Amino acid sequence: MKFTHDAIVIGGGAAGLTAAGGCALFGLKVALIEGNKMGGECLNNGCVPSKAIITAAKRAQEAREEKRYGVQLAAPKVEWAGVHKHIHDAIAHIEPHDSKETFEEMGCEVIMDYAKVTGKHTVEVGGRVLSAPRIVIATGSEPFVPPIDGLDGVPYLTNENLFDLTEQPEHLVIIGGGVIGMEMAQSFRRLGSEVTVIEPGKPMGRDDRESVQVVVDVMKDEGVRFVEGKGQKVEGSEGNITVHTDGGDTVTGSHLLIAVGRSARVSGYGLEELGIELGRNGIKVDARRRTSVKNIYAIGDCREGPRLTHVSGYEGSNVALEITTGLPTKVDWKALPWCTYTEPEVAQIGMTDEEAREKFGNDNITVIKEGFDHNERAIAEDSTKGHLKVILKGKKVLGASICGKNAGELLLPFTQSITGKSNTFALGSAIISYPTRSEILKAAAFSAWEPTVFGSLPKKYAAFVAKMRRTFN
Ligand SMILES: Cc1cc2nc3c(=O)[nH]c(=O)nc-3n(C[C@H](O)[C@H](O)[C@H](O)COP(=O)(O)OP(=O)(O)OC[C@H]3O[C@@H](n4cnc5c(N)ncnc54)[C@H](O)[C@@H]3O)c2cc1C
């Protein structure tokens, strides 16, 4: 078969851009196909707008806080048009990095249209048939909309239209207390909306429970209302929407946001016809991200597995490397970090203590906990809420959970510990700038060694050296 390209990549989000860009930079002939907006979810409806609104909300909160350290700020006055502009300015600022022109300059043929996989090696797009030895599916995910009675009949928001709101919601009701629900709940509350979160289980269920509790308490203090239950029935009309929960509660707000998770985009573009195997929520892949049709890869949110921008980037570069070199690559999640950008942030890598206890038994793990209330930078900044927990098996780091200001920035040393590129001894004996929040990392790592360093053997040795000095000096 004569191929038109070396690789065809479907989807111009974080995963597809990394895979296509990687292959093109190695000199392969690549077709990159995007049916909607270049940059995908992260740039247009996800990470970027959500982090932009979080920034505006932080500014409002700083002005609102009572403690002012001798500096008087005016009470916040939120102009929604300004918030909206800031969100869209942030997107516009980053847009050129992900644009058609940028990827054409890298050497990709960029086609702006919806693609259909028509065979093991063929893709139809815009009336053309493209072919390649390797195809990469990176079609992403979309908001999961649960089957709630009446939902079809009321206007509701998802992350796809939330950031286009041109007026501030008076009362935002959020169904779902996951990462997106929690970040948006705090932001809208801080910007002045009333906010109610309806969540049946534990908010941010994948994260360390103690860390999540700190965030929930902060959000409650800031005025976010939490209702335990599942949204069972919805009724009302524009500006007046009521949610009835299975617990018998009734919540009425001006706007409703559905934030209960993501569905992989797997239908309507040929996967079924080709017999590509699907899992519970996404395309089935092996560790090399190959689908059941082995020359077709699936990466990022469209396949089963974690859904994060850095995961999409990681898989995109793995697959680009595999396609260009012919050498197999494998994903490894044992040092996968993630962070929820509430204030305080909650960052996690590896296992939580609950997971470690379940896997190795209570007696075989150690949990070291350091509070930010002992960290002098945190004290000087008056932001001592939160802690660091390191989960150890012997001296080996299994995971770490950090709750606090900029927690996401503090995870890197644990990535290196878990992957064996560093260890708790190196971290515990590192010189760290004073005063920084990173000092908490050294304190926790040193705690792991404290019983050894100040144990009976070193003490006996020190006593021996002291005796020698007394005798011979
Ligand atoms: C509100 C929100 C906040 C988030 N915040 C964070 C965060 O802070 N940090 C983080 O790591 N992650 C975050 N995420 C998750 C992150 O956005 C996703 O994991 C990431 O964008 C997935 O990238 P992707 O390339 O797999 O998919 P996408 O970005 O969804 O890209 C897929 C692309 O494929 C295109 N496409 C689909 N079908 C076809 C077809 N048949 N033909 C042509 N094109 C097609 C789509 O138009 C889309 O552009 C957030 C998500 C949301 C919703």
Ligand 1 centroid, distance to 42 Cα (angstroms): 5
pTM for the model: 0.95
Q: Whose CA is nearest to atom 30 of ligand 1?
A: 140
Question: Is residue 281 in a domain?
Answer: yes
Q: Report the C-alpha gap between 401 and 207 in whole angstroms.
A: 8
| Ligand 1 atom 39 nearest Cα | 139
| Interval between CA 138 and ligand 1 midpoint (Å) | 9
Nearest atom within ligand 1 for CA of residue 184: 1
Residues 277 and 255 in one domain: no
pLDDT for 66 beyond 90: no
Decide whether any atom of ligand 1 lies within 6 Å of the 310 Cβ: yes
267 and 379 share one domain: no
Average pLDDT over residues 102-119: 98
**Has residue 68 got a pLDDT over 90?**
no
Q: Which two tokens stand for residue 354?
A: 């609950």
The reply to whether 128 and 11 lie within a common domain is: yes
198 bridge partner residues: 175, 227
Average pLDDT over residues 366-374: 96
Residues 342 and 416 in one domain: yes
Residues 248 and 274 in one domain: no
Q: Name residues whose C-beta falls within 8 Å of residue 322's C-beta, 6 or more positions apart in sequence.
A: 288, 328, 329
Label residue 70 by pLDDT band (50, 70, 90): confident
Q: Is 384 in the pocket of ligand 1 (CB under 6 A)?
A: no
Mutate to test the pocket of ligand 1, among 41, 130, 157, 182 (most ligand atoms within 8 A of CB): 41
Same domain, 256 and 191: yes
Q: Is the pLDDT of residue 473 over 80?
A: no
Render pLDDT for 27-38 as a digit per residue (tens, 0 to 9): 999 999 999 999
Query: Which pLDDT belongs to residue 1?
Result: 79
236 within domain boundaries: yes
Taking the C-alpha atoms of residue 285 and residue 7, their distance in angstroms, rounded to an integer, is 18
Pairing assessment for the beta strands 30-34 and 7-10 based on DSSP bridges: parallel
Please say which residue of 261, 279, 302 terminates a domain.
Answer: 261
pLDDT band at 266 (very low <50, low <70, confident <90, very high): very high
What pLDDT is attached to residue 72?
82
Render pLDDT for 174-216 as a digit per residue (tens, 0 to 9): 999 999 999 999 999 999 999 999 999 899 999 999 999 999 9
| One domain, residues 155 and 196 | yes
> How many CA atoms within 13 Å lie on the side-chain side of 462?
7
Instruction: Give the span between the Cα atoms of 249 and 236, in whole angstroms.
Output: 16
Which of 38, 130, 139, 346, when mutated, tests ligand 1's pocket best, judged by the most ligand atoms within 8 Å of its CB? 139
Question: Hey, which of 164, 257, 309, 314 would you mutate to test ligand 1's pocket, going by the most ligand atoms within 8 Å of its Cβ?
Answer: 309
Distance 201 CA to ligand 1 centre (A): 26
Structure token digits, residue 371: 């509070």
Is the CB of residue 444 below 6 angstroms from any atom belonging to ligand 1?
A: no
pLDDT in tens, 395-405: 899 999 999 99
- Residues 234 and 275 grouped into a single domain: no
With 80 as the cut, is the pLDDT of residue 84 above it?
yes
| CB 52 within 8 Å of CB 90 | yes
Residue 47's pLDDT is 98
Ligand 1 within 6 A of CB of 13: yes
Domain C-terminal end among 232, 261, 290: 261
- Residue 399 structural domain: 337-453
Instruction: Examine the domain organization and report whether 19 and 136 are in the same domain.
Output: yes
- Domains in the chain, number: 3
3-state secondary structure 295-325: CEEECHHHECCCCCHHHHHHHHHHHHHHHHH
Q: 46 C-alpha vs ligand 1 centroid, how far in Å? A: 7
Residue 422 pLDDT level (bands cut at 50, 70, 90) = confident
Query: What is the per-residue pLDDT for 73?
Result: 83
CATH of the domain at 165: 3.50.50.60
Residue 57 lies in a domain: no
Gyration radius of the chain's alpha carbons: 26
Band of the pLDDT at 71, cuts 50, 70, 90? Answer: confident
- Percent of the chain whose predicted confidence (pLDDT) is above 90: 93
